[in-house]
Amino acid sequence: MKLVTELIESVDVRVQIDEETKQKSHFIEGVFLQAEMKNRNGRMYPMSTMSKEVNRYNEEYIKKNRAFGELGHPNGPTINLERASHMIKDLRQEGNNYIGKAKILDTPYGNIVKNLIDEGAQLGVSSRGMGTLREKAGCQVVQDDFMLSTAADIVADPSAPQAFVNGVMEGVDWVYDAASGHFNAMKVVEETKDLGRKSSKELQESALRLFDKYLKSL
């Protein structure tokens, strides 16, 4: 499976003020996902694939208040809670678009986003997920095994061309570990196949090297 990220250049920002406490709540809202169209990365998400995955994401993450996103572009599929900046509260279909709404959290990275909003920064979002691709008529079609990591990471410089949408980890194959519920980089997984043929000393050295690579892949 490949890590796939798709950039939406602009979302609306909203600031709500509680009349009693005078506390501000920050939100972003706009198109988070798109189906049935070839995007700038040359990929297309069939509506059947997108609809099925959004339904799962809504049930397993949004409704359970577990749909987090990060600030910037992480280089892997796993959500790092230490970098969480917002919680996605709603994701609904409008035609071929999925309109999302996210509340900015009172976390270190969330506070950076709040300050950016207060200073008038233009924000964009980038979805992040895993899936296999199949070439069809000059387009990379995302297959039915597509899984969302998050419907939206927040990016503060949407105009930067390929820096955001083509992360270095997009070219790495990932495999899903059902026991842990995490994706692991294929290079790390492949090396485990050789461990059984090594001496105890070589095994210890390989295990340490493998563990180091695994940590770097998270």
Q: Which of 26, 73, 86, 217 is flagged as catalytic? A: 73
Q: Is 51 a catalytic residue?
A: no
For residue 124 the two structure tokens come to 């964009």
Q: Is 73 a catalytic residue?
A: yes
Please report, for residues 19, 173, 177, 204, the alpha-carbon distance to residue 194 in angstroms, rounded to integers and kept in the order given.
Answer: 63, 19, 19, 13
Q: Which of 26, 85, 86, 126 is flagged as catalytic? A: 126
- Biggest alpha carbon–alpha carbon distance for the chain: 69
b/e per residue, 78-100, with b = 16+ CB within 10 A? ebeeebbbbbbeebeeeeebbbb
E-strand stretches of 95-136:
97-104, 124-131, 133-136
Backbone φ, ψ for residue 104 (5° rounding): -75, 130
**Residues annotated as catalytic (active site), given as ranges:** 73, 126
